[in-house]
Chains A and B, each alone.
Chain A
Amino acid sequence: MSQANLLDRRRVVASLLANRGGALVVGGLGASTNDMAASGDHDRNFYLWGAMGGAVMIGLGLALAQPDLPVVVITGDGDMLMGMGSLATVALQKPTNLSIVVLDNERYGETGGQMSHTAMAADLVGVARACGIADARAISTLAEVEAFAKAIPDLAAGPRFANVKIDAANVERILPTRDGMFILNRLRGSLGFTPI
């Protein structure tokens, strides 16, 4: 059941991707990938089904290699907590085209809804800011999500970080492809790279 004042994850992701243009979008394992698939499959969606803690670093490598395109990482609080050090690594490199969005339901939703550290103690916005990401936002309204989405195409002002509080409702599973080589070659193909 949706709780009052918490955002619906599907509406958040749909809003982030509505005007994505040429953006490259990395989805962290679990529900975040499903939310991306629910918003429509895309050549430039990079879905993860494992490698927990790695989403932001994949986004960083991509952002440094493609500085003229916006790169967006959409992941959950569990993945972000496991890869928290990567926020320090990102801040040091200052990829101005990288945007990171954490869908924070304060739960490990795929494994039975166990409470995560963000429910009671950890503040990921504070972590991001303390690591050196100046544009770090705590988001709780759709208007704020839309404002963040408008900032994503600005390739000069990142890196930017948003922690979006979402409700913990389990939504319908919409599964994207889990074939890594397909995902990789499709995205590379959209950038003009041919297979080896």
Chain B
Amino acid sequence: MLAAFEAVPRSLMRVILTLVVVLFLVITLGPLYWVAMSSFKTPREVIARTPTAFPSEVTLKNYERLLDQSNFVAQLQNSATIAALTVVFTVVIVVLAAFGAYRGQIHWLRNLKFVAILAFVFPTTLLVVPIYEILVRIDLVDTIWSGVLVNCILTVPFSFWLIEGFFDSIPRELEEAAYVDGANRLQAGVRILLPLITPGLATVGIFAFVTSWTEYTFASVLLINADLKTLPLGLADILAQYNINWGLLTSNTTLAMIPGILFFAFAGRYFIDGLVAGALKA
């Protein structure tokens, strides 16, 4: 049997591999395509017994209705604001802590990464209740900040763990050369280290963006006011209705997917490289 496996000609092997990849892409992207296509169909066609691969009549009615009726624009703004703030806070907190822990003279600070691992594997769902309690007490429930904070809880520990490999790959001699030239620690950090760990920061930033963009559980408990709802919360409201309007729901879903996909199309490369580099060094 093994001999047979080896005996398959190279060209045939290549064809089989390509077919596997195509099947793979259909499974991965097919569902996304299907939802996007449904959003351009008329109400009658969208629930037709025989589904059509392309809309026989392309309509933008669903999108018009969505923008008219729902708070889509406000939700998009809230999601974008929370995601942007989450990225900024995650990157700043992680960079500062990483400078201290991975480039300082106190060796036990490095052990914070074990605390970080513990935190990111900790059951976050189990934290919903107590975190809600804490945010009630400090009066942050139903503010944008509660959304930013909980996202940081989800992103910072994993990011701190991930960034270690990037710091370790930079030789200390580079910094020391800067000290010899009379630079202080801040100058050495900003001028020498910061540019070199940019790929790591890109990875952390993208991870923070995606986590924040997709988060639902905490937001559903913490953001109650209709004006503060994020895209996932708006989507969940339509999904929870008894009679689902599929045209409306698929158009809303399509619009909610696009920013993440666009963002990833441009930044995905850095994320993949960084994730792999960071994970391998851990």
Indicate whether A and B interact: no
Q: B residues touching A (Cβ–Cβ < 8 Å)?
A: none
